[in-house]
């Protein structure tokens, strides 16, 4: 069963096309990383997947249903997004913000029941911010705030997570702990995760499959070993890199090379 | 008893006290015995009722505009919405629309308010964002232009308009709680009560909107529709109040800001608390306006003198989102 399918999607903002004829199928339970240079259309792909921007051609299917046929509430019960755009400097308490994740499950009056409280408590527990429940979000550290918004997404009880650079602004410790949460959800609860990641090495370490985007098209897709080759990376990022196996996970690791050390590559 | 119910009780009690005290304050000093059965008491009570409705309504409108625009400085007067409503009401007066019933004046004011909101919103947004300063500039410029049109309409020597009616427009522009039409008072009270109820009921949606428009959309909120609904509610309230008592500025700024410090950012508490506190504020401000000098000071002057500096202090402080 495919969690989300993009069928030759073309879309963009106004007249400019950002994605051109992109097709991608993500199976339920997969952990997929979207990588590519700035402006290659990674975030646009997520926006197209949630119907925030409409496709000019092609279509997006979520659990086999066209997103255009789903109401925004129904869609929010199937897809949870951890967005970069979220206002982090909120005066609301941690618990209130996590409770906002219940929005697609509430009626017009917005009344919450015991089940909602239970789901939120579990979400806060899972990302380890339960002890901060009554604190205003704006008083927390960046890493803690990021976990609060992950708890909010968890409270949506959706089967599919779309993450838009969930590790930006985080130090390496928090980067690993944020992605560990999603790996755990992915492994233990078979949640599907599609993450836009800036860091190729994080993508390599955490993803089953990596999709490399360039200029609005899919340049390569496959296991980290297949996609994260120096040929692919150099062609897309226009810089020289060295790829070696990372000793702990055995996944490819990308090393950057400063321009004054660029030398012609020895023939293989 | 929770901290919030204490706040509501205190505010409610305070409102009752200031209303009772305000009845005994005024330019005309009447001995107590004659006072109780004079027509002055009925006039003053109507006036206090209007102050309650206007204070509550302007505060609620302020919270609504601040919530949808995610800008703590948004307010009907600053955004030019009050000027739009004023122009709408003036056109209604010049056309003699009042003859068609007491709802025509607030209805025309509502149309003007809505028009101003749409223009300011379009001018104030830069791409998908709406920077705080562009929005304020757009509001002030649009407000000034609409005010100038209003001034032109008032100064033009219309053939069939008695000058005293136009003089009334000028007086009314400065904010005037003197109520001559009891059905207009009733209309204002109904509109403010209904809009406040809807706003309190849907306050939780404004909370979600505080996350940002795209995150709110990801949570299943239909952002554009929600924003339109709250814009209409805010304009409706502003229109009704402007139609009845002219331009009273900064109430929607001072009151919500103060209440946010006391009850926090949650709109389900902020809206009712601001409505109560706004009513208290305007009743007190009106009591001062009536008693400070031998002649009455326009209420809009009082709120502007208090609210203007408040606004500047907020503007200079580092901007914090809601």
Which residues of chain A are within 8 Å of residue B321 when distances are taken between CB atoms?
A: 87, 89-90
CA–CA separation, B297 vs A151, rounded Å? 54
Q: How many CB atoms lie within 10 A of CB B117?
A: 27
Q: Of B26-30, B135-139, B175-179, B201-205, where does mean pLDDT reach its minimum?
A: B26-30
- The reply to whether A100 touches chain B by the CB within 8 Å rule is yes
Query: Which residue in A89, A91, A112 has the most chain B C-beta atoms within 10 A of its own C-beta, making it the best mutation to test that interface?
Result: A91
Chain B residue with CA closest to A152: the answer is B219
Q: Residue B91: what pLDDT?
A: 86
Q: Residue B26: what pLDDT?
A: 67
Two structure tokens written together for B15: 């409102």
Chain A residue with CA closest to B200: the answer is A109
Q: Where are the domains of chain B?
A: 57-316
Angle, CA B48 vertex, CA B263 and CA B187 arms, to 5°: 90
- The reply to whether B320 touches chain A by the CB within 8 Å rule is yes
Contact partners, residue B182, CB within 8 Å, separation at least 6: B46
Query: Which residue in B213, B219, B321 has the most chain A C-beta atoms within 10 A of its own C-beta, making it the best mutation to test that interface?
Result: B219
Q: How many CB atoms lie within 10 A of CB B137?
A: 14
DSSP annotation string for B37-94: TSHHHHHHHHHHHHHHHHHHHHHHHHHHHHHHHT-TT--TTTTTHHHHHHHHHHHHHH
Task: Among B212, B220, B322, select the one facing A91 at the smallest CB separation.
Answer: B322
- Structure confidence by residue, pLDDT tens digits, B197-215: 999 999 999 999 999 989 9
Q: Residue B163: what pLDDT?
A: 64
Residue A48 has pLDDT above 70, yes or no: yes
- Alpha-carbon Rg for chain A in angstroms: 19
Could you tell me if A137 and A188 are in contact, meaning their C-beta atoms sit under 8 angstroms apart? Answer: no
Q: What is the CATH number of domain B57-316?
A: 1.10.3470.10
Token pair 């209130």 in the structure block, residue:
A96
Interface of A with B in 188-227 (CB under 8 A): none
At B126, is the secondary structure helix, strand, or coil? Answer: strand
Mean pLDDT of A118-147: 93
Residue B162 has pLDDT above 70, yes or no: no
CA–CA separation, B198 vs B99, rounded Å? 30
Element housing B212 (H / E): none
Chain B nearest-CA distance from A23, in A, is: 22
CA–CA separation, B228 vs B42, rounded Å? 39
Closest CA relative to residue A181, chosen from A209, A201, A151: A151
Q: Residue B196: what pLDDT?
A: 95
Q: What's the structural domain count of chain A?
A: 1
Could you tell me if A6 and A24 are in contact, meaning their C-beta atoms sit under 8 angstroms apart? Answer: yes
Q: Is residue A221 part of a domain?
A: yes
- The reply to whether B211 touches chain A by the CB within 8 Å rule is yes
Could you tell me if B51 and B279 are in contact, meaning their C-beta atoms sit under 8 angstroms apart? Answer: yes
Q: Is residue A38 part of a domain?
A: yes
CA A60 to chain centre: 17
* Interface contact B211-A87, CB threshold 8 A: yes
* Interface contact B211-A77, CB threshold 8 A: no
- The reply to whether A135 touches chain B by the CB within 8 Å rule is no
Look over chain A and give the mean of its residue pLDDT values, rounded to a whole number: 92
Closest CA relative to residue B62, chosen from B314, B307, B253, B319: B253
Q: Which residues pair with A66 in a beta bridge?
A: A61
- Structure confidence by residue, pLDDT tens digits, A206-215: 999 999 999 9
- Structure confidence by residue, pLDDT tens digits, B36-93: 667 778 888 899 999 999 999 999 999 999 998 888 888 888 888 999 999 998 888 8
Chain A residue with CA closest to B218: the answer is A76
- The reply to whether A134 touches chain B by the CB within 8 Å rule is no
Q: Is residue A214 part of a domain?
A: yes
Bridge pairing between strands A241-245 and A192-196: unpaired
Q: Is residue A253 part of a domain?
A: yes
Closest CA relative to residue A249, chosen from A217, A211, A203, A198: A203
- Structure confidence by residue, pLDDT tens digits, A198-244: 999 999 999 999 999 999 999 999 999 999 999 999 999 999 999 99
* Interface contact A75-B214, CB threshold 8 A: no
pLDDT band of B4, cuts 50, 70, 90? confident
Between B255 and B152, residue with greater pLDDT: B255
* Interface contact A100-B211, CB threshold 8 A: yes
- Structure confidence by residue, pLDDT tens digits, B263-319: 999 999 999 999 999 999 999 999 988 888 777 888 888 888 888 888 788 777 755
* Interface contact A80-B218, CB threshold 8 A: yes
Two structure tokens written together for B104: 């025509």
Between A168 and B48, residue with greater pLDDT: B48
* Interface contact A103-B222, CB threshold 8 A: no
Q: Which DSSP category does B24 fall into?
A: T
CA–CA separation, B249 vs B305, rounded Å? 10
CA–CA separation, B255 vs B269, rounded Å? 13
CATH (domain of A57): 3.40.50.300
Mean pLDDT of A163-176: 88
Angle, CA B303 vertex, CA B103 and CA B6 arms, to 5°: 90
Q: Is residue A223 part of a domain?
A: yes
* Interface contact A90-B211, CB threshold 8 A: yes
- The reply to whether A137 touches chain B by the CB within 8 Å rule is no
Q: Which ranges of chain B would DSSP assign to H, the alpha helix? A: 3-23, 32-36, 39-69, 81-94, 104-124, 132-155, 163-173, 182-201, 203-209, 213-218, 223-245, 251-263, 267-291, 299-316
Chain A nearest-CA distance from B213, in A, is: 8
Q: Residue A268: what pLDDT?
A: 62
Provide the domain limits for residue A105: 2-261
DSSP annotation string for chain A: -EEEEEEEEEEEETTEEEEEEEEEEEETT-EEEEE-STTSSHHHHHHHHTTSS--SEEEEEETTEEGGGS-HHHHHHHEEEE-TTS-----SBHHHHHHHTTGGGS-TT----HHHHHHHHHHHHHTT-GGGTTSBGGGS-HHHHHHHHHHHHHHTT-SEEEEESTTTT--HHHHHHHHHHHHHHHHHH--EEEEE-S-HHHHHHH-SEEEEEETTEEEEEE-HHHH--HHHHHHHH-S-EEEEE-TTT--EEEEE--GGG--PPPP-
Q: Residue B200: what pLDDT?
A: 94
pLDDT band of B322, cuts 50, 70, 90? very low
Q: Is residue A96 part of a domain?
A: yes
């Amino acid at each position: 069963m495919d969690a989300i399918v993009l069928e030759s999607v073309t879309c963009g903002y106004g007249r400019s096309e950002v994605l051109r004829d992109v097709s991608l199928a993500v199976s339920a339970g997969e952990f997929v990383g979207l990588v590519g240079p700035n402006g290659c259309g990674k975030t646009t792909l997520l926006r197209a997947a949630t119907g925030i921007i409409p496709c000019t051609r092609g279509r997006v299917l979520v659990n086999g249903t066209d997103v255009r046929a789903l109401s925004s509430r129904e869609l929010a019960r199937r897809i949870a997004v951890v967005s970069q755009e979220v206002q982090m400097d909120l005066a609301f308490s941690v618990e209130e913000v996590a409770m906002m994740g219940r929005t697609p499950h509430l009626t017009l009056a917005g009344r919450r029941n015991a089940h909602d409280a239970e789901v939120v408590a579990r979400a806060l527990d899972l990302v380890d911010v339960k002890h901060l429940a009554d604190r205003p979000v704006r008083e927390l550290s960046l890493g803690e705030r990021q976990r609060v918004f992950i708890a909010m997404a968890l409270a949506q009880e959706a089967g599919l997570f779309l993450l838009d650079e969930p590790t930006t602004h985080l130090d390496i410790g928090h980067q690993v702990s944020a992605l560990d949460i999603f790996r755990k959800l992915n492994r233990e609860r078979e949640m599907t995760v599609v993450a836009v990641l800036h860091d190729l090495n994080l993508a390599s370490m955490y993803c089953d499959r990596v999709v490399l985007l360039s200029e609005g098209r899919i340049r390569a897709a496959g296991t980290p070993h297949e996609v994260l080759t120096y040929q692919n990376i150099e062609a897309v990022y226009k810089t020289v890199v060295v790829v070696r196996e990372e000793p702990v996970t055995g996944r490819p690791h990308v090393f950057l090379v400063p321009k004054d050390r660029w030398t012609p590559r020895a023939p293989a | 008893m929770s901290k919030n119910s204490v706040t509501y009780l205190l505010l409610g009690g305070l409102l009752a006290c200031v209303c009772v005290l305000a009845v005994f304050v005024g330019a005309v000093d009447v001995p107590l015995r004659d006072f109780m059965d004079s027509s002055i008491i009925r006039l003053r009570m109507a006036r206090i009722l209007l102050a309650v409705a206007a204070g509550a309504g302007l505060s609620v409108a302020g919270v609504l505009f601040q919530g949808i625009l995610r800008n703590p400085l948004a307010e009907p007067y600053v955004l030019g919405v009050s000027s739009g409503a004023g122009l709408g009401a003036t056109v209604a007066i010049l056309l003699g629309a009042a003859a068609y019933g007491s709802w025509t004046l607030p209805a025309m004011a509502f149309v003007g308010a809505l028009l101003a909101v749409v223009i300011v919103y379009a001018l104030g947004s830069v791409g998908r964002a709406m920077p705080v300063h562009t929005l304020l500039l757009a509001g002030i410029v649009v407000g000034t232009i609409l005010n100038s049109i209003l001034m032109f309409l008032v100064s033009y020597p219309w053939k069939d308009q008695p000058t005293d009616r136009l003089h009334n427009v000028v007086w009314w522009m400065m904010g005037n709680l003197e109520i001559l039409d009891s059905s207009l008072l009733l209309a204002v009270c109904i509109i403010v009560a209904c809009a406040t109820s809807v706003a309190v009921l849907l306050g939780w949606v404004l909370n979600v909107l505080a996350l940002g428009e795209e995150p709110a959309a990801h949570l299943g909120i239909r952002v554009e529709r929600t924003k339109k609904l709250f814009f209409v509610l805010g304009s409706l309230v502003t229109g009704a109040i402007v139609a009845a008592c002219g331009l009273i500025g900064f109430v929607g700024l001072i009151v919500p800001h103060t209440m946010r410090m006391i009850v926090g950012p949650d709109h389900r508490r902020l809206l009712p608390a601001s409505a109560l506190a706004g009513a208290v504020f305007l009743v007190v401000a009106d009591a001062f306006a009536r008693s400070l000098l031998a002649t009455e000071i326009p209420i809009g002057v009082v709120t502007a003198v208090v609210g203007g500096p408040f606004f500047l202090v907020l503007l200079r402080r580092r901007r914090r989102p809601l």
